Amino acid sequence: MPPRSHHFSALVERAPDNELFRFSLAQALLAEGRTEEAAPHFEFCVAKKNDWMMPRILLGKIHLGAHRNGEARPLLEAALTLAIDQAHEEPERELRALLADLR
- Cα dihedral 97→91→22→48 (10° resolution): -90
CA dihedral over 63, 53, 42, 31, signed as positive or negative: positive
Give the SS3 label for residue 27. Answer: helix
- Cα dihedral 16→39→97→49 (10° resolution): -20
**pTM of structure:** 0.94
* pLDDT, tens digit (0-9, with 9 covering 90-100), for 48-95: 999 999 999 999 999 999 999 999 999 999 999 999 999 999 999 999
* pLDDT, tens digit (0-9, with 9 covering 90-100), for 4-17: 999 999 999 999 99
